[in-house]
Each structure stands twice: as structure tokens, then as C-alpha cells.
Chain A
Amino acid sequence: GQSLEQPSEVTAVEGAIVQINCTYQTSGFYGLSWYQQHDGGAPTFLSYNALDGLEETGRFSSFLSRSDSYGYLLLQELQMKDSASYFCAVRDYDTPLVFGKGTRLSVIA
């Protein structure tokens, strides 16, 4: 089976940088994904890491360390619209994508 751990809540100031961590335990590993979900909305895909290192997409970056079973999502130049829930997700050899319980990010002025 799999387990994913991420903080339940994070608060950050507009314009700042925030990091949301995710640790995982899986039987085999294909990669780590991140999804964003605004209140009342559907999850949307943000990023994906299969190999160690940092992937950058605009203000968002995602990092993976396979040896540490750890990744994080980095949000820069925070905007109020970034207030949302963020989910890490993994796929292992036995199961399609499994999601963490989510981190609720609140951006304050």
C-alpha cells in the first residue's frame, strides 16, 4: 500500500514564498504529482516529477528526492488567488494515482 503525509494547513503572506512538503511510502514508485483545488472546484494538475531535482513552471516549482521519499511544491510571489488546497499524489507498481489528504493554503494580505 501507499501512504502520503503533507501538512494540513499552511498560511503565508501575499508576495512571499511558501513550500508544501510531501513524504510518501510506496511499493515501487513512478513519480510524484501535484494538484490544486479551489473551494467548490475540481482538482487541476500542476506538476509532475519522476526524477530527482527541481521542475519549474512559472511561479510554481516542484522538487523530488527519490532516496528520501520526499518532495515539495514551491509557490513564489504568492497571490490571493493561490489560496486553495494542494494535493500530492503518487503512483506505485500496484495502484493508479493515490492522493494525499491535502494542504490548505491561506494567503493573507
Chain B
Amino acid sequence: NAGVTQTPKFQVLKTGQSMTLQCAQDMNHEYMSWYRQDPGMGLRLIHYSVGAGITDQGEVPNGYNVSRSTTEDFPLRLLSAAPSQTSVYFCASSYSIPGASQPQHFGDGTRLSIL
């Protein structure tokens, strides 16, 4: 069982470059989300999706785009990388909106450094 798969695991970018972080899940989950985790800041929600074709902004959406063309995939795009986006990025999924009773399953994370 693969669960939630994130690629790449590590990435170094230069300021101004763009890139896409990939996230795929094989559990047929409707809800998917992206978080960033910075030291002392916990997990902050970037964007989320409640199903294919539906996305919405979280707490810190600026500088990021998402799309959800299939149930399985939820890529996160950095439009023009900035050093402030250096972080660990986690993708997560659950059967429905995680109203506490719906545990979120997390990927292993992407460690992104922007120089």
C-alpha cells in the first residue's frame, strides 16, 4: 500500500525559478491538502481540495497554485520561488473533510530550499 506519495523528497531552487511538487494517493480519498512546516510554526495549510475540480485557499496561499484534475493527484506549483518559501511541504489526504474524526494520512514530505 503506497498511501500518499510525494516527489521529490529534496529540492534546491534558485530565487525566481518555478517548480511543481507532486502528490498522489491511492486510497480513493476525496479530500487532499498541502501544508508547509517551518520551525516553531507547526503545520500551516496552503491549499486544499474536497474533490476533483474543486480547490480552495488555506491560511498561507500566496505564491502557490494548485489544481485537482483527478481524485488521485494534487500538485502544488510554486510560481516564482522566494527564499521565504524554504520549508518542508507535506501533502495529506482523507476520505472527507478532516472533521477530526477523519484522520489525515500524510506523505513523507518534500524538503525545499530556495537560494
The interface of chain A, by Cβ under 8 A from chain B, is: 8, 30-33, 35, 41-45, 48-50, 87, 89-91, 95-102
Contacts and interface: CB of A to CB of B under 8 A. Distances in A.
Contacts of A101: 40-42
Given A43-B106, A91-B98, A102-B42, 12 more contacts: A33-B103, A42-B106, A42-B107, A42-B109, A43-B43, A43-B104, A44-B106, A45-B103, A95-B58, A98-B45, A99-B35, A99-B44
B42 A99 contact: yes
B7 to A, nearest CB: 14
A98 B59 CA distance: 9
A42 B23 CA distance: 14
Interface in B33-66: 33, 35, 40-45, 48, 58-59
Contacts of A49: 100
Given A42-B90, A43-B43, A101-B41, A96 B48 contact: yes
B101 interface: yes
B98 A96 contact: yes
Contact of A96 (B31, B106, B107): B31
A41 B109 CA distance: 8
Contacts of B92: 43
B30 interface: no
A96 B33 CA distance: 9
B8 to A, nearest CB: 15
